[in-house]
Structure 1
């Protein structure tokens, strides 16, 4: 019993607001009912053509990213809670309207507007967590946010599937209600965390999180390590995107008619592990730097995805999924920590708005690249390429880790000299 308690130790003593965000995130992600069924709704309920729906879904995604970019700036200048209250509430109101409107053009327009407005508040949770934590606390806090997302997403689509078939109006109302509940939790229990001028002055210039003047671009130029990190993460997400694209094709090629069922089982294994094992992994790596944890996660990607080239048995695909899922947990829970540790305190909202774009870029490029490769080779050979990319990205991340370690040692030496 004592050993089990130790696994939960990193999560004890966190600021109360972190636990509130955890529950608010579960509620909000459980209520993500419209998004997963948007394509089906527009095609079969509204009656739009597949080509038109494809354009709408793509534009909808782009509007969400644009909203996040604008929201990041507003979060840094106006405040975290204000942006969440205004824009997430507005997004929820849009879903309420869609529940009662019957005209396809109006419904589609409002859905796209809601996606745009909802994007404004997307970086808020990560920004608040960064404001409230540092060091080991950050790992635990971002780990909680990651678990909340997976718990919510594991329940939401099941509920959405039931509502879509039988109670379509409640698909929209449910999304709106859970949005309002999550906003209410933040409104009542989480204080505004935007740093004051006094807090900005507290950070010494030699730290990675020191305040900066100017735009996001100018802050990035002054921190080239973040540009390098962003490039590495694009590779990571190109690799990880194959859990959906390449893996489904490989399983279908091997198991034929049973492919869809087996792929669904593998996704269930992934979801269950992400929701349950994260606690134990976070505890095990609590003393390992975020950059090194991400590098190790890349090695697990290389093994988990790379081994698919050699296997054709169901139990081996389970083992493969377990390995790359552990890699996913290590990468996902530490990426936000790394960004937080290297982001100017004045630009936290903006930097947190950029990361989802990096993720989507990888998920856009990954399937296109894999499709072109498979066309000129075959699906099995894809995993050699993916394994190789994982190794390269992991090595680059390890170099970044050693570079960071040297920089921190130099900062400590400078601090000692100044104190003397």
Structure 2
């Protein structure tokens, strides 16, 4: 019992704004209806072909990625809250408009525009978290943000599945309303955290977080390890993107009319596990390097997704989901901390836009690749390709882990 209690200690004493972000993220993710069900909506409600849906989902992710890139720059220049309020509200209104439109072309267009403008605000939460924390507090804060996302997501898919099947108008309105509520919480209770000129000057004594001049690309080129890390993580998200694309199609193919409900239940299994296990996995791996944890996560992706080539029974899909979920926890929590610890204070918005960009890039390439692959083969064969990619990415991450160890030894020798 004492060990369990000790796992919660890192979450005590964090800035109040971190707790507000926690609750705002829960609300926002409870209402994250449209994103996870987009493939199913376009395929089964609108009637687009799988290959076309793959292209649409890829373009949608690409627009979100572009928005995130622009948003990162704006966050650094005009402030965190202004970007969240202006562009987050615009995205919420877009989702709300879809509730009253029947034309599939118009709905698809509005969803794409909403994805674009919503991308502007994606780096805000992680940027504020980076601003307000450091050291062990930062690990705990990012872990808390990740848990908040999954606590909300543990409720959202079940509610979304119900609304999708019975009240499609509220499927879109619910997403819009929860988006606006979460923005209101942050705008009212969280102060602007953009670093002052004095804080930027003080940062110049640090190694990785010291101020930089110039663009994001210039700052990234000064950090080749992080650049390599980002490339590998793109492959991880190409694999992970199949939890909404490939999995939803296979579930719909096997379980037919019950597909939406069963898919929603699997997403709930994923979210509940993430909400509960993150605390214990974070505590158990706190002394293990992030790159090694991510390498293990890649192997769990290979097993969890790869086994779907063989299975049909619902309970086996639960086992599959549980396996890749543990991999997700290892990958997601360690990626956030790794990027934050290599972020110049002057580029926090832009560097914190890197993670959503990586995610969007993976979710852009993954569905498009899978859509065309399935067109010329079948949905089951997709999981062989996905498992191979996961193993390759895991081996590459392990190589990065060995390079990190060598770099640390060289630095220690220079210091002595």
TM-score range, shorter chain: 0.7 to 0.9
Within the alignment, does 1:239 sit opposite 2:239 as a pair?
A: yes
Q: What's the offset of the Cα at 1:330?
A: 0.5
Q: 1:203 to 1:400 in 2, by over 3 A?
A: farther
- Cα distance between partner residues in 2 of 1:372 and 1:115: 23
Q: Is the 8 A contact 1:207 1:411 kept in 2?
A: no
Q: 1:377 to 1:68 in 2, by over 3 A?
A: closer
What is the match of residue 296 of structure 2? 296
Q: What's the offset of the Cα at 1:232?
A: 0.8
Q: What's the offset of the Cα at 1:233?
A: 0.8
Q: Is the 8 A contact 1:248 1:259 kept in 2?
A: no
Q: Is the 8 A contact 2:160 2:264 kept in 1?
A: no
Q: What's the offset of the Cα at 1:109?
A: 5.8
Q: 1:131 to 1:106 in 2, by over 3 A?
A: same
Tell me how many residue pairs correspond in the alignment: 413
Pair member with larger Rg: 1
Q: What's the offset of the Cα at 1:139?
A: 2.4
- Cα distance between partner residues in 1 of 2:377 and 2:160: 38
- Cα distance between partner residues in 2 of 1:86 and 1:129: 20
- Cα distance between partner residues in 2 of 1:151 and 1:352: 22
- Cα distance between partner residues in 1 of 2:314 and 2:163: 33
- Which sits farther off after the overlay, 125-134 or 90-99? 90-99
Q: Is the 8 A contact 1:76 1:346 kept in 2?
A: yes
- Cα distance between partner residues in 2 of 1:194 and 1:348: 9
Gaps of 5+ in 1: none
1:53-109 CA distances to partner (integer Å, 9 max, x unpaired)? 957665544333222111110001111112112222333344556666788887666
Q: What is the Cα-based RMSD across aligned positions, in Å?
A: 3.9
Q: 1:266 to 1:168 in 2, by over 3 A?
A: closer
Q: What's the offset of the Cα at 1:338?
A: 0.8
SS in structure 2 of the partner of residue 203 of structure 1: helix
What is the match of residue 14 of structure 2? 14
Q: How does 1:267-278 map to 2 (within 5 A)?
A: 267-278=267-278
- Cα distance between partner residues in 2 of 1:224 and 1:145: 27
Within the alignment, does 1:200 sit opposite 2:200 as a pair?
A: yes
- Which sits farther off after the overlay, 51-60 or 62-71? 51-60
- Cα distance between partner residues in 2 of 1:408 and 1:132: 27
- Cα distance between partner residues in 1 of 2:394 and 2:52: 37
Q: Is the 8 A contact 2:7 2:283 kept in 1?
A: yes
What is the match of residue 144 of structure 1? 144
What is the match of residue 84 of structure 2? 84
- Cα distance between partner residues in 2 of 1:106 and 1:314: 36
What is the match of residue 74 of structure 2? 74
Q: How does 1:90-129 map to 2 (within 5 A)?
A: 90-95=90-95, 111-129=111-129
1:146-173 CA distances to partner (integer Å, 9 max, x unpaired)? 2222222232343344445665554454
- Cα distance between partner residues in 1 of 2:5 and 2:16: 20
What is the match of residue 50 of structure 1? 48
Q: TM (normalized to structure 2)? A: 0.82
Within the alignment, does 1:404 sit opposite 2:365 as a pair?
A: no
- Cα distance between partner residues in 2 of 1:352 and 1:339: 7
Gaps of 5+ in 2: none
RCO (CA 8 Å, sep 6+): is it higher in 1 or 2?
A: 2
Q: What's the offset of the Cα at 1:309?
A: 6.4
Q: What's the offset of the Cα at 1:410?
A: 4.9
Q: 1:268 to 1:112 in 2, by over 3 A?
A: closer
- Which sits farther off after the overlay, 183-192 or 163-172? 163-172
- Cα distance between partner residues in 1 of 2:310 and 2:157: 33
- Cα distance between partner residues in 2 of 1:68 and 1:13: 31
- Which sits farther off after the overlay, 19-28 or 322-331? 322-331
Q: 1:63 to 1:274 in 2, by over 3 A?
A: same
Q: Is the 8 A contact 2:31 2:174 kept in 1?
A: yes
What is the match of residue 366 of structure 1? 366
Q: TM (normalized to structure 1)? A: 0.81
Q: Is the 8 A contact 1:205 1:211 kept in 2?
A: no
SS in structure 1 of the partner of residue 194 of structure 2: coil
Q: What's the offset of the Cα at 1:128?
A: 0.9
